[in-house]
Amino acid sequence: MPAVSIDTFFACSLMVMLVLSAMAVTTTFLRPHMNTTDGDSSQRLYRELSKYLLLSEGMPSNWGQNGQTIPETFGLARSNAECPYELDGDKVSRLNDENFYAISYAEAFTSLEAPDTFFKIEIKPLFDVKIRLDTTFDSNNDTIYQFEISTERNGVPISTQMRIFTIAEAYLKATSASATNGETMQNVTIPDTVDGPALLAVIARSAYNDRIMSFNACAFAHSSAEPNLKGTFLKLSPLNHSLTASFSTSGIDLTNAYALTLNHEFQLEQMSNTSESTTYEIPKILDSGPTILVLTGTNSTRSFIEWTAYPQIPVEMGADFVDSHALSDVFSFTYLITIDSIIYDCTVWLGGPA
Amino acid sequence: MRNENAGQIRIIEAVFAVFVIFSAFAVTANLPAAQNTSRSDNLSSVGLQVLMKLDSDGSLGRNLDQGHWTVLRECLTLAIPAGISFNMTVYDEQMHEVNTAVISNGGFGSQEVSFTEYVCASRDLTLNCYAIHLYLAVTQ
């Protein structure tokens, strides 16, 4: 075969490959930017799917209450909800990876039964409570801690009424305060005879709407070393009005357990105790709102204080869309949802492969 | 001899060109596809949902009855997502404007403005009906 024929053959093949590849690459790059009915329909599809997540109960409908149950179909709505977007506190708690009985994203993805659809759910209070330890004073037999507590939404101060709890071992003191301009300074006095560490817990309610609430807590050293990070000693899992405290290290001895709400504070009653965990009963109260659960104890070397909220909010669960390069379109949908009559902010992100 | 060499060189050229082009495709194929994260809140549905939530326990009608316009503005500020401006007007059954103060959180600088109409009935012994016009706009 003459060299010219081989030359021509190669040149033609090259041109054909070049044209086909150029078409393929152009289509791949332009597709996400094309404003076609495809994009509109996928947005509509994802919107309906986000509503389905929040309006359906899932199967079984009480999958949130039993920590061993993996839902066959995914849905967060409360059974027999009185109004739309009313979620089940236990189902939401099981999305939180701090909970021992949390379902994994893989399990949620499978039970959603929507292949090629990745999702993320975030549920948080409508405003933030920020606590900052300002200064510490020594008194005769006490130590006074001055805290700056602020309530804000996206940097805008929120006027609130709040209940402030100081807890250290068997010491529990509750006071009321208001932050009319979204900020208050609070002095907390703890006797030196009380062993630490201590915790300052705040439950705040909007001055304008009883159903908009938020909370936070801050552990601090009092006659003790600096407190460890949350979850170092215990994994707290509140579900179905019982709190399971799973021991993260050996030699744990729990001393006190409290439930704190806006209007009440209780000492929790122990239901069962094993070498790996202890279970407490969370009292059912008529007042709606989040409950802060606090446990104090010691391990072989030091004292500790751990806390969580019931329902276990804020929670963020699902796919990491920020680092995902394989997705072309991600849609976010914001909803106001209620859990136990309290209004929270819920954002659902949904996306699919390019 | 010279012609034969020319043919061989062209073949080498072609092979080299194919290699270069396929390398370019291999590299571009691994580049991340443009990710388009869009906030798809339908403003109208956001407005309707906020009003329904505030009305679900009767507090919306109660505040309208008592003329608590500041309370309504603060509730809307908390409930409406960040980055959205609102302006609410309340009318009675005869479509007379009821609110004596502005219920808004700022100016509308956006071209994307949505309108939501919501009818609210108070839960008092005397039944009062209100028509609420809520305008929402994405803040620029």
At residue A292 the predicted structure's pLDDT band, cuts being 50, 70 and 90, is very high
Indicate the length of chain A as a whole number: 354
Q: Are residues B60 and B32 in the same domain?
A: no
pLDDT, tens digit (0-9, with 9 covering 90-100), for B9-43: 777 877 877 787 777 667 666 554 444 445 545 78
Nearest by CB: A321 against B37, B52, B70? B37
Please tell me whether residues B128 and B97 are part of one structural domain.
Answer: yes
Does the structure show a pLDDT above 70 at B3? no
Residue B26 sits in the same domain as residue B49? no
Find the domain containing B111 and state its range.
43-140
Q: What confidence score (pLDDT) does residue A261 get?
A: 93
Q: Are residues B61 and B92 in the same domain?
A: yes
| Cross-chain CB nearest to B75 (options A25, A209, A321) | A209
- Residue A135, domain member (yes or no): no
Residue A24 main-chain phi, psi, to 5 deg = -65, -45
* Residue A284 confidence class, pLDDT cut points 50, 70, 90: confident
Provide the CATH number for the domain around residue B72. Answer: 3.30.1140
The Cα of B1 is separated from the nearest Cα of chain A by a number of Å equal to: 12
The answer to whether A328 faces chain B, any CB pair under 8 Å, is yes
- Say what the pLDDT of residue B34 is: 46
Do residues B63 and B128 share a domain? yes
Given this model, what pLDDT does residue A32 score? 60
Mean pLDDT across chain B: 81
Say yes or no for a CB contact (<8 Å) between A334 and B41: yes
Find, in chain A, the residue whose alpha carbon is nearest to that of B43.
A334
**Mean pLDDT value across residues A340-349:** 92
pLDDT beyond 60 at A164: yes
* pLDDT at residue A325, rounded to an integer: 57
> What ipTM, to 2 d.p.?
0.75
Domain count across chain A:
1
Q: Is A214 within the bounds of a domain?
A: no
Instruction: Single out the residue of B125, B132, B115 nearest to residue B64, CA to CA.
Output: B132
Across the A:B interface, residue pairs with CB atoms under 8 Å apart total: 130
Q: Does A152 reach chain B within 8 Å, measured CB to CB?
A: no
Q: How many domains does chain B have?
A: 2
Residue in chain A nearest B2 by alpha carbon: A3
Distance from CA of A304 to the nearest CA of B (A): 36
Residue A68 has pLDDT above 80, yes or no: yes
Task: Give the pLDDT score at A129.
Answer: 95
pLDDT in tens, B50-98: 999 889 888 899 999 999 999 999 999 999 888 888 999 999 988 999 9
| pLDDT band at A288; cut points 50, 70, 90 | confident
The C-alpha atoms of residue A125 and residue A203 are separated, in whole angstroms, by 11
Global pTM value? 0.81
